[in-house]
Structure 1
Amino acid sequence: MTYKVLLIDDEPGALEGLQLWVDWERLGYEICGLCSNGVDGLQMIRELHPDLVITDVNMPLMDGLQMIEQCYEERLNDVKFAIMSGYNEFEYARKALRFGIEHYMLKPIMQEEAEEVLEKIHADLQQAQKQRRLALEAEREETASLIRNVLLDIPIDEAGRAKLRAMSNHDTRWNVLMIQSEALLLMNVRRRMEQFLAQEVCTYVVDLGQGRLGAVYREAQDDSELEFAKLLALSREYSSLPVLMALGKSQASLLDLAHGYRTARTAMQLMFYDADYTHLVSYENFRTRPFQHHYPTYLLDNMIRTAELLDKSGFREAVTAASSTFREMLVDPQIVKKMMVHVFYSLLGMVEELDEQQSRRMMEKYEIPGVNDHVVSLGAMMTDLIAAGEECIDLLLVQQMNRSQGVVQDINAYIQAHYRENLTIKRLAELFFIHPVYLGQLFLRKNGISVNEFVHNLRIEEAVLLLAQNKLKNGEIAERVGYSNYNQFLKHFEKRMEMSPNEYKSRRI
C-alpha cells in the first residue's frame, strides 16, 4: 500500500535532496506536499491528511516540535511523525522522543540511512493500519450485536443503551430492511446487501435467525423516495429466487428499532397474499390493510371431513374454498399457516394408522410443517396441501383395498348374526378397521346392495317367518326383528312384500 508523505524543512536544498535521493515509490510512498515552516505544515496536515510527516525541528514561525504538539492537541492522531535534526540540535530530538516520536534522521541526510528509516516507518504504518482495522471491525461487531439484541427484544445493559443513544441524534431516523430467504441463499444475499450499503457509514447487517437478515441503516433526510427506488432495484436482482424484503416503519432512535422490525415482519406477511409486491414491500402499504384474526371454523372441518371420506374432489374443493375465504378476509398468515399444518398432520395421522413408513415419507416429501420458517405464498402452500391430501387419500384407498380382500364375507356373517341390533356403517367400520366410505363401496360392489338394504332384507325375512306362525302381534314382531318404530317396519315390509303385514297374514289363513 502507498502512504502519503508531507515534507517540511526551511532549507530548500534539504527538501530537494529528499525528493531526488529517495526512491519514494519503491518504498511505498508518494509525496503529497512540501512546505518550509510549522505554521504552513500544520495547515497542510489538516487539509491533506498525510500518513507520514517528515519535519525539520528548528524552523521559523513555528518549529517542528510546536507543530507536533499542536497536532496532538487537535487530536490529529492518525498521522505519524519523523524528525530531521543536525548534531547540534540533538536536544530537540530528545524532546521529540518524549512526544512518542520514534524515528529521526540526522542531517545531512544519507540515502541509505533515510531508506532504512522509511522502511521501518512503512512497516509501522502497516501495523497501525491493521490494528485500526481490527479495532474498527471489533467496534462494528459490538454495535451490530447490540442492534441485533434490540431488534429481537433481548435486554441490553446500560452501557450498550448509552452507546446506541449516542449514535442516534435528533436529525436522523433509522430503519430496518428485513430480508427472508432460504439458508443456502442467505449468505450470498448478505454479501450483496453489504456491498449495496457500503457507501453508508452507519449500516449494519445482522443475522436474525430463521432465514432472516436485518439491514439497519440511517435514512436519507432529503430523498426517501429515491432510497426506496434503490432498494426496489436491489430486490429485483432476486426476482427469480425466493428472496423477500420488507421495509419497516422508521424510528428516531436505534433503541426503538424493535418496533421497526415488528412492522417489517408485519409488512412481509402481505406477500403471503399479494404477488403484486414482487420482492419488496413497505409497511406503508400495510397500514390500510390490517389482518383479521378470526375465520369460519367450518373451513377446517370441511377439509378434514372430505379427507376422511376419501373424497379427492371434495377435498380439493374444500381447500380451494378455504383459500378464497382467507384471501377475501385477509386472515393473519400465521393463523392460516397453523391451520394448514393442523390439516397436514391430520392427513399424516390417517396414513400412520395403516402405514407408519408411508407417513414418514410424506413428512419428508412436503414442506408444509416448516411453513413458519420459509418464504411461502398462500397459493404455493395450498397447492402442496392439495397434493399431500390427494396422495394421502390414494394411499388410504390402496391400503384398505389390500387389507379388505375377503372381509366382506366376515361382514356378511356379522350382520346376519346381529341384524336385530342398531347396526351402522360407522360401527362396522370400527369393528373391521376399514374406512366407512370404503366399506360401503366394497360391500355394494360385492353384494350388489348397500349395508342398510342388506340389514332390512334380513329383518323382513325373519318378520315373514314370524307372521306365518301367527303367534305374535305385528308390533311385537317389528320390535323382535330390530325396529323400534312400527312405521319403519311397515314401510320396509310393504316395500319388499308389496303388501302390508295384515294382508300377508290373511293370505296365509
Structure 2
Amino acid sequence: MKIKLLLADDEPLVLVGLQSMIDWNAYNIELCSVAHNGEEALKRIAEQKPDIVLIDIKMPVKDGLEVVRECRKAGSELPLFILLTSFEEFQFAKEAIRLGAVDYLIKLELTSESLADAVKRCLKLLATIYTRRQGTSPAGTMDDLSILYERFFIRLYNGLFENRQQYELQRKELQVDFSFNAYTVCYCEILDSASLSSQNCKQRTQLYSGTVHMIRETINRYMACYITSLDLRHFNITFCLSQQELPDVQHLLQTILQEASDTVYSYFNVTLTCRIGRLVKDPYAISESYASARHVLSTAHIAFFDPQTESTPPSLDIPFYRKEIAQAFEQLDMDVLSQALSKIAAALKAQPSHYIEALDIASTLLYMSITLLPDGETLLNRIFTGEDSYRCLYRCQTVVQVVEWITILQSGLVCELTKRRQTYKAHTVQKVMQYIRANLNRKLSLPEVAAFFGFSPNYLSQLFAKETGQNFVEFITHEKIAAAKEMMANSDCKIYEIAEKLGFDSAFYFSKVFKKVEGCSPREYMRRSIDRI
C-alpha cells in the first residue's frame, strides 16, 4: 500500500516544482491531492487521510501553522507535516517544532537532497507509528490492532474504564471516531444449526470471520459502525449515527440489518438474531445501550429495545463485579479474581429460576476473559478440554449448569494465571517501557501512562520499580537524555530544537536536567564529542 502525500501551496508553480523535485514513487509515495489555501488543505486532509502533508506556512484563508494546529487538536498524530516558507524566521521554526512538524524548509534553499532528507525522516517516523498501531507497540499486549480495538470496546461495553480521562486517552490513541450525534449497540448472535454443530473449531472460526467481514462490508456502505467480536457465536455492532439519520433511525437500522442478514444467509447459510439497544448521545455511555440490547425480550430476528416493556440491568447483575474482575485480570491478582467469581456463583445459585440472567452474566465473564487476557481464547481452550471447549456454556439449560461452568472457569483461570504471573508482569513492564520510548516527544506522567494501560498509578509505580530497579520518572529522564545524545551525534539539531522534540518545557530546563544526568551541559557535551572526533 502506497503512502499518501498532500501538497498545499498558493503558488501553482511551486506545486508543479514539488511534484517533480524528487522521484516520489521511489519512496513508495503517491500524490493523493493538492490544495491552494489552508481551508482547502483541511478539507482534503479530512477526505483523503494523507500520511504526509507538505504545506506552505504563508497561505490565504488559513496559514500552514493553523492547519497543523487544527489537525493536532483532533488528537491524531497523523498526518505528518513538512512546513515550507519563503524566508527564515526563528519564531516560525520554533512554533513548527512545538506543533510536532517533522521539518521546516526554506523555499529559496530547497534542494532535492534537503527535501529527500525530510521525506526520509517522515518515513522513519511513519514506520514507528504504524508498527505501534499494529500491536508491536506498547499500546497493546497482542499482535494485532483489531485486538486493541476489541479490548477498548469490551471495556466500554461493560463500563470498565476507571474514569472519562482513561477512556479519552485510549480513544485518542486508537483514533476511534466518536464525533457523531448518537450511538446504539446491536448485539448479534449466530444461531446454532445442524450444519454449524457438525463443524470443527477451525471451520467455525472461518465461518465466523467470513460472516463478520461480510456484515461489516454491507453496513459500511450505508453508515459508520464498529464491529467487536465477543466469541465464535456473538459480536456487537456499534452504529454511529448522524443527525440526518436520527428521525427514521429504527426503520433505517431494520432495513440495513435485514440486508446484512439476508446476505450472510445467502453466502454462508447462517441465521442471525440482532438485538438493538437504546440510543445514547454520549459514547462514554455506550454501556447503557449494550446492557439494554442484551435484554431485549422479543423473539423476532431483528428486535429493538422497548423502554415501555423492558428494563435494564437485570436483577442479578452485580454492579461492581466487572471492574473487580477486570482489575484482577490486569494485575493477575488471583485472590481478588477467585473471591469475585465465588460471589457471583453464590448469588446465581441463590436464585435458580433466573436462567437468562445467569447465562448473560456467564457470557460477559467469557467475553472479558477472551478479550482482556493475553491469549485469552487459547487459555480458555486449555481450561475447557471438551470438543466444544468454552462454548459448552451454550449447552447449559439451568442455573445449576451455568454455575458449574463458572466454577470450572474460576479454578482453571486461577491455575493457569498463577503459572504465568511473573512472566506476565515482566512482559507488562516491557510494554510500558516501549510506550515511553515511542512517546519521548511528549511530557509523560505516571497517571497518564497508568490510565492508558488500565492500572492505578500506585500499582504501576510499584510494579515498574520492582521489575526495573528504578522509578518511573528516572526511567523517562534517562531515556530522554539518551535520545538527546543520539540527536546530538547524528543530526544538526540545535539545543532548543532537541528540547522541543523531547517534550521539555524549555531549553533551559532541558539543559538543567541534562547536566544533572551527564555532569555537563548539552553544549559542553557536544563540544567534547567534536573534540574526540
Higher relative contact order (CA 8 A, sep 6+): 2
TM-score w.r.t. structure 2 length? 0.40
